[in-house]
Amino acid sequence: MARTQQTGTEIPPPRDPAAPHTPPPARTRPRNRPQPRLWTWLLLPGTLWMTGFLVASLLLVATLALGTTDPLGNPRFGLNFANLTALADPAYRTVLLRSLGYALITCLISLAVAYPVAYAIALRGGRFKNLLIAAIVVPFFANYLVRMYGWSVVLSDDGPLLRTLRAIGLADDGTQILQTGVGVIAGLVYGFVVFMIIPLYAAMERMDTSLIEAGRDLYGGPLRTFLFVTVPATRQGAAAGCVLVFLPAMGDFVSAQLMGGPDQIMIGNLIQDKFFQGQNWPLGSALTMLLMAVLFLGMLGYLRRTRKDEAEATR
C-alpha cells in the first residue's frame, strides 16, 4: 500500500475524472485478500492427508529399522541396532555413491535432452503445441515396468539398435549396451526425462519472449542468447525438473535390474532385495532411511535455492 501511495505522489495521475488511472499493483492485490478462511479449509484435507500419511509411514519405516523378523517373515518391532551398524558395510557406501553418480548424470543428460525439446515446443510449437506435449506425455501412461522391459529388448545385443549400429559400422560384435553403466543411465533417462521436459516447458511458456529479442538486439548470437537469457530465465523450471528426475532416479531399481550388470547395482536394488528376497524388512528399512537422509540433503538445497530465487523475484 505504501508503495502505491508513493507512486501516486511521485507521478501524479492525469486529472481526468472520466479515465481514472488504476495502478497495476492495485489490480493484482484483491486476489490475495478475500476469504483467507476459505483457502485454509481448501488446503486442510490435502495437508492433513500428506502429513498424516507421510509422517505415519516415515515413523513406521524408522521404527522398523530397529526391529527384527520372525520365522514367518513378519517384521517385529524392537530395539535392535544391528541394522544400523550393518550400514557401515563398505558395500553400501560403494552402491550409494554409484547411485548418486548415476542420478546426477541422468539429471544432466535429461537437461540436455529436455531443453531443446521444451524450447521447440514452447516457442515454435504454434498450433501443434498441445499435440506435441501429448505425444510426449501419453506414452508415459503405459506401465513403467513394461516400457523398461521393452527398452531392454531394444538395447539387447541382438536388438534393433545394436544391429543397426553394426550394419553401418558404428559398433562391432563385442559392443554391449545392456549390463553396462551406459545401459542403466539410458534406462533412467528414458524413464524420467519427461519429468524434466514438462517443468521446463512450463517455464518457457511463462518466459517473457521479449527478453530473447532484447538479447538479439544486444548482438547476442543464438548460443549466447540461449545461455545468458533463456537459461537464467527458466532456471526455476530446470531446478524443479532436476529434483523431479533426481529423486526417482536415485531410488530406482528397475533400470539397474533390467539394464545393469553386477557392477551397476543401485541402492534401490539392495532395498528391494532386503524386502523381497531376504525378507529382511528391518535392514531394508534402515537402508531406506539412509537413502532418505541423502535425498533430504538434496531437497534442502533445492528449497533454499528456490526461497532465495523467490526472495530475489519479489524484492
Partner 1 sequence: MSPEALPPTRRSFLRAGTAAALALTATGCGFASADDPAGRATAEAPIDVKVDGDLVYFNWADFVDPAVFEGFQKEYGVKVVQSNYDSMEGMAAKLNAGNRYDIIFPTAKWAERLTAGGRLRTIDHSRLRGAEAVFGGYGYFADPWYDPRSAHTVPFTMYKTGIGWRRDRLGDLTGSWNDLWNEQAKGKVFVLDDRDEVLGLGALKLGLGLTTGDHGDLARVTDTLRSLRPRLRGFSSDSYNNLLNGNADMTQAWSGDMAAMLAQAEDPTVFGFEVAREGAPVNSDCYAIPANAEHPGTAMLFIDYMLRPENVKKNIEYIGYPMPVRGTEDTYAALVEPFPQCVVTADDLGADLFFRNGDARVEQARDAAWTDVKAG
Please state, in angstroms and rounded to a whole number, the distance separating the CA atoms of residues 180 and 113: 21
> Taking CB under 8 A as the rule, does residue 181 contact partner 1?
no
By CB under 8 A, which span of 20-28, 89-97, 119-127, 199-207 interacts with partner 1? 89-97
> Taking CB under 8 A as the rule, does residue 272 contact partner 1?
yes
Residue 291's contacts (CB-CB under 8 Å, 6 or more residues apart) are 96, 250, 251, 267, 268, 271
DSSP category for residue 22: -
The least distance separating partner 1 from the CB of residue 95, rounded to whole angstroms, comes to: 5
> Taking CB under 8 A as the rule, does residue 73 contact partner 1?
yes
By CB under 8 A, which span of 5-13, 32-40, 185-193, 255-263 interacts with partner 1? 255-263
> Taking CB under 8 A as the rule, does residue 269 contact partner 1?
yes
Contact by Cβ (8 Å): 249, 107: yes
Instruction: Closer to partner 1 by CB, 11 or 97: give it.
Output: 97
Query: Of the candidates 110, 225, 255, 257, which one interacts with partner 1 according to CB under 8 A?
Result: 257
Burial 178-216 (b: 16+ CB within 10 A, else e): bbbbebbbbbbbbbbbbbbbbbbbbbbbebeeeebeebe
The least distance separating partner 1 from the CB of residue 243, rounded to whole angstroms, comes to: 21
DSSP category for residue 69: E
The least distance separating partner 1 from the CB of residue 169, rounded to whole angstroms, comes to: 20
Helix, strand, coil % in the chain, rounded to nearest 5: 75, 0, 25
> Taking CB under 8 A as the rule, does residue 270 contact partner 1?
yes
> Taking CB under 8 A as the rule, does residue 140 contact partner 1?
no
> DSSP H helical segments within 11-143, as ranges?
24-28, 36-64, 82-86, 90-124, 129-137
> Taking CB under 8 A as the rule, does residue 95 contact partner 1?
yes
> Taking CB under 8 A as the rule, does residue 71 contact partner 1?
yes
The least distance separating partner 1 from the CB of residue 203, rounded to whole angstroms, comes to: 30
The least distance separating partner 1 from the CB of residue 278, rounded to whole angstroms, comes to: 4
By CB under 8 A, which span of 18-26, 107-115, 156-164, 188-196 interacts with partner 1? 156-164
> Taking CB under 8 A as the rule, does residue 276 contact partner 1?
yes
Nearest to 222 by CA among 91, 136, 124: 124
How far apart, in Å, are the Cα atoms of 278 and each of 36, 101, 262, 272, 273? 52, 27, 18, 9, 6
> Taking CB under 8 A as the rule, does residue 25 contact partner 1?
no
Query: Of the candidates 213, 278, 297, 308, which one interacts with partner 1 according to CB under 8 A?
Result: 278
Q: Which long-range contacts (CB under 8 A, 24 or more apart) does 6-14 make?
A: none
> Taking CB under 8 A as the rule, does residue 258 contact partner 1?
yes
How far apart, in Å, are the Cα atoms of 225 and each of 28, 118, 217, 231? 31, 16, 10, 9
Please state, in angstroms and rounded to a whole number, the distance separating the CA atoms of residues 287 and 294: 11
For partner 1, the binding residues (CB under 8 A) are 68-69, 71-76, 82, 86, 89, 91-92, 94-95, 144-145, 149, 153, 156-159, 176, 178-179, 254, 257-258, 260-263, 265, 269-270, 272-280, 283
